[in-house]
Structure 1
């Protein structure tokens, strides 16, 4: 490797310079993240109301408890819909789709004749929704909402004083269907597939806030964060203006606008209405994180408004149902795992608003935990842990708008091109002129791509950086292992081998860390930090370096016979590999490696089908609680020690072990880059995480080398002589 470094020293210097320049973007991002350290909590009124019913106390009691003991002063209050009026209030309201209504032969006889006649003239179909109100109070609430929010051609209504009826027009897009089922076909025989209309989105459209709920919240001095569910086709300017008018009627000026349903208010006629309301009232728009904790829920108009307001937005973490049930989870005594979930959301994913719902018993999905000590303990512990990361509780902070400059993106691209040329030089016989030509062509290609595909260019640049620098690190530990094998004696002292292998690991991690910086630098814009835009190709960026390891190993170690020209991939290397005899043990090893590889890739990402064991989760949580950032298990327990063991087994002249340990070590190099692909995660956590992994990985590697050496000595001292003796006895017979 010395000759390689000497031959390419200027290219290496160029790469270092461009990495340092990319650090400007990294510095901007760190400053932004440092000043974005305030989080807020909103409690959900509806769930507190359900909790109150189970505890035989009024909802006001729990609102006061959350205010006084948990310091939660913001309450998320959802507007009522036909469904909530039917199920959660004492208003005499019922609603059905006309498909359900007309299945009853005498349905017309059950309704006032005048209404039926008017409805017939208006026209109706199976997709419409019939709403019946059997009191003056219910009629006033529903009819006023429908008249104020819907266009006249969208409904037909009739008021009879003590009762009222309205049919709201629907279509196939608003209908909610049952699961397909088989129905016997008596005419033709066999079965036909059917689906039934079982509901409609219309029944979930927000119709307004109940005055008594508003009064209960405001009487305690709490701030209302209204939740309005909007659905396309019924969400024009008229609807949006009626919603805003109701907010103003109750003196509600929300700090955050967290859209519900399909989009922001008024979206059918564009985003101007909602955007003006947000700007005029200095409201922060909420980006609700997906249930998979990856990106945000796609709601019409939300991201557009965020961009138009220079990302005056906050990420919102909703305590989804499956998280509410994590009480006494993983063997904990209380709500520790829910606390861990909230802690990770705030520290690792740039979430600044927690939309909190009360905890439910894990044994019974419908029973709330009503012991306030559980909540006090959880939030007190959460506050203490967050303070260690310089977070404070209050009005949610907003990221300062930042866009990575074109110049910095191009400097990163040039550094990536230089790294790619260096990588090719590591296994191909390139002359100085060839490297210059490749560099010029690469730089020209990068410039062209930045103009032709400017949006995809940034993602492509980050992807290539991740792959190239991971491959450079792989080249380094492969080349060093081969070089030490050829220059050191097999009986080199163990202490020396430990030191050399540790230095090799440190150098490789630093190279991968450079790749992480080059990956993160061009994507360190606000849109990526808020996960409006995300990095693509994480799994591919982890697979390609694994494939490259085969190239690097052949270039430095060859296949079978002793390598003649180390550092150059030659035809006979491929020929020897293709002509080798396949043995059963090779098939078994290959199958085992394929299984490990599948498990590794399947475990990657938030939508993995492979669940993490309870023991591993508890171990992760312990590390997370004890350290600034949790190091990755696969790095310090598996991949990093493997790199040190590759160096050790290469010097000791083992045959199969270097390639197996090297292959495992590849995972560590891609993992370091992967840490920085998650742009939403603050950079300081990435640096701490990698530092801890390196420290613990060196310790684990030293232990691994020592254990391997002991096993090897036992094998050579006792087992080999025993096998030789048995062989001699057999030959004597």
Structure 2
């Protein structure tokens, strides 16, 4: 029997690195727990529209929204499309002014004189004001956006009219700065303003100063930029960050449509970095999706989103249709209050959006983690290369330590940390499975073992293997954890690889230990010899069909992982997921509780019952999926570390239960059904 060395020095280094990673994860957990304030936001425009739909004063709707728990109202830059509706400022196409003159509809002598003098041109736009402050702001912003040469002030009967050189359709949609009248109304209603500014073309420091001067007299909780650029981009992003820091304003970072990282805005990451990531993640249920959802489903979505993805800006969109037995206003106020109540029940406070503390673990702690990862990689080589000489072991270890820990100690190492996390996600669950294989390999199976004994052995082995895999989870998190990863400014790379590589590594270890061709759990000449045999095997059409089905299953398995949106999830599975989300603190992953862990339990049963080695080989590979998935869960760094831990525990518990049921069914089949089928065949 081949002997594989569990080198004691390597194990000691892994244990030391484990303690360092655990210390980092405790710090991380404390940082995550302190960030528990959520800001509930509604667009100011939505509340105004809601008031109009139900014929209720805007002030009354705002009061009800405040009572329902809404913290802030999002205020966007004004446009002439909005101004033409509220009547505070009006923009008229020059061609319409001329038409009015020539049809005799124009009665104002001052305007008639301008037409007769040739001042009015059909290609220009004429802006009149009916609210002094709004008109002043519009004039100021038009000059900033278009330039003085395109905006001319005319005197019409003692009143100022702006002649603007622009195309009318695009002019109507042009952003014209933050409306002070709306911000004043928001603050008067008891809300914070969440500012949604756009950028200026060729933005200057003066443009940035003008924006902040306009919002300075109002209570603003934060800024979430609109459009593809942040204010100040590309040259003055850091200046914008400086102005935000002076006012203690939080940067809102809009989550991407795949729920991964952010909606791309030029300059956003520059501002976040310059402000030491004084930022919060923002999410809003897509309008088209919300139309298909009920209030309760939306509430659950918010509860899960905030808990699992560290969302702290909740931008709630209103329902367009009333729920049965309610008015539209009642429907939305019920929705707002239900979200608040659910979040408070989960331990969150409702207020200004929380932000993460400055969290960057000490470099010496991180270096110990890197050393542990290097030791684990060398240990894996020891477990697949029998009789590996110590000089090679220690030589590889020294090289690994220098490559992994050196950059971290010198204050760099961002890339090597990602590599270390990737290795942790792949190597540690593999070592856990290999250790279980060696443990069973050293024992003699009791073919007459009772079903309860097999189940108990399987459960104990599964939990033990899971604990060992969690060492890798701690290492993965300890390698990456800092504020940038918690915000998902940086992300773990290699999610797809972590679903495939552990299976390959375990397959190599299995073939180094067992001969899969003779049907017995005996020794083998090694991986390469068996691999050659596999390549030389004659293939039947039936075998090709089976291999094709396995390949399809593998493609589906990999495609459904991560956030690529490449493989849809069935309605039945969505309902099953929703059930688990409501029933448990953290929903276990399907690949663990329905695939990986049951396969682990069946592999234990197969060892007791001396099933063909090829069958055990397949079961062990499938079992590896569950162990790898437990560790890969921690690669989603935006999810709280405790939630990832609880998710894995739930998967083991339920997976062990599913596995036990499978063992019972197989036992019943072999005891009652199989003998009858055998008799019929005879």
**Class of the TM-score when normalised by the shorter of the 2 chains:** 0.7 to 0.9
* Residues 1:652 and 2:652 are matched in the alignment: no
- Residues 515, 673 of structure 1: 8 Å contact kept: yes
Give the Å deviation of 1:341: 1.7
Q: Secondary structure at the match of 1:133?
A: strand
- Residues 515, 524 of structure 2: 8 Å contact kept: no
- Residues 426, 568 of structure 1: 8 Å contact kept: no
Q: Secondary structure at the match of 2:210?
A: helix
* Residues 1:320 and 2:320 are matched in the alignment: no
| Mapped partners of 2:540, 2:7: distance in 1 | 40
Give the Å deviation of 1:290: 1.7
Give the Å deviation of 1:278: 1.5
Give the Å deviation of 1:538: 0.8
Superposed CA offset, 1:479-503 (max 9, x none) = 455555xx21433322222222222
* Residues 1:687 and 2:645 are matched in the alignment: yes
| Mapped partners of 1:447, 1:412: distance in 2 | 8
| Mapped partners of 2:235, 2:626: distance in 1 | 51
Q: Secondary structure at the match of 1:581?
A: coil
Alignment of 1:616-627 (within 5 A): 616-627=573-584
Give the Å deviation of 1:76: 1.2
Select the structure with the greater relative contact order (CA < 8 A; seq sep ≥ 6): 2
Give the Å deviation of 1:29: 0.4
| Mapped partners of 2:300, 2:117: distance in 1 | 57
- Residues 29, 642 of structure 2: 8 Å contact kept: yes
Matched positions, count = 656
- Residues 180, 215 of structure 2: 8 Å contact kept: no
Superposed CA offset, 1:82-132 (max 9, x none) = 454467767432689xxxxxxxxxxxxx99944659x9xxxxxxxxxx644
1:362 and 1:448, CA in 2 relative to 1: closer, same or farther beyond 3 A? farther
* Residues 1:473 and 2:439 are matched in the alignment: no
Q: Secondary structure at the match of 1:353?
A: strand
1:418 and 1:260, CA in 2 relative to 1: closer, same or farther beyond 3 A? same
Cross-structure match for 2:667: 709
1:58 and 1:111, CA in 2 relative to 1: closer, same or farther beyond 3 A? farther
Which of 422, 427, 436 is matched with 1:463 structurally?
422
Superposed CA offset, 1:350-390 (max 9, x none) = 11121222123499xxx9x8545544554554445434542
| Mapped partners of 1:568, 1:80: distance in 2 | 76
- Residues 271, 301 of structure 1: 8 Å contact kept: yes
Cross-structure match for 2:252: 286
1:697 and 1:413, CA in 2 relative to 1: closer, same or farther beyond 3 A? same
Cross-structure match for 2:147: 152
Give the Å deviation of 1:674: 1.5
| Mapped partners of 2:507, 2:238: distance in 1 | 56
Cross-structure match for 1:228: 197
1:298 and 1:571, CA in 2 relative to 1: closer, same or farther beyond 3 A? closer
1:63 and 1:143, CA in 2 relative to 1: closer, same or farther beyond 3 A? closer
Superposed CA offset, 1:492-516 (max 9, x none) = 3222222222222112211221111
Point out where structure 2 has 5 or more consecutive residues left out of the alignment.
95-114
| Mapped partners of 2:121, 2:142: distance in 1 | 20
- Residues 501, 647 of structure 1: 8 Å contact kept: yes
| Mapped partners of 1:568, 1:284: distance in 2 | 63
Cross-structure match for 1:174: none
- Residues 545, 666 of structure 1: 8 Å contact kept: yes
Cross-structure match for 2:110: none
Superposed CA offset, 1:367-414 (max 9, x none) = 9x8545544554554445434542221232221101123222221111
1:338 and 1:94, CA in 2 relative to 1: closer, same or farther beyond 3 A? farther
Alignment of 1:401-550 (within 5 A): 401-429=358-386, 430-447=388-405, 450=408, 454-480=413-439, 482-483=441-442, 487-550=444-507
Q: Secondary structure at the match of 1:426?
A: helix
Q: Secondary structure at the match of 2:253?
A: strand
| Mapped partners of 2:239, 2:116: distance in 1 | 39
- Residues 80, 91 of structure 2: 8 Å contact kept: yes
- Residues 180, 214 of structure 2: 8 Å contact kept: no
Give the Å deviation of 1:58: 3.5
| Mapped partners of 1:441, 1:427: distance in 2 | 19
- TM-score, normalised to structure 2, is 0.87
* Residues 1:296 and 2:254 are matched in the alignment: no
Q: Secondary structure at the match of 1:402?
A: coil
Cross-structure match for 2:23: 24
Of 422-431 and 557-566, more deviation after overlay is shown by: 557-566
Q: Secondary structure at the match of 2:415?
A: helix
Point out where structure 1 has 5 or more consecutive residues left out of the alignment.
97-109, 120-129, 170-197, 329-334, 726-733
1:360 and 1:459, CA in 2 relative to 1: closer, same or farther beyond 3 A? farther
| Mapped partners of 1:524, 1:95: distance in 2 | 57
Give the Å deviation of 1:520: 0.7
| Mapped partners of 1:2, 1:570: distance in 2 | 12
Q: Secondary structure at the match of 1:721?
A: helix
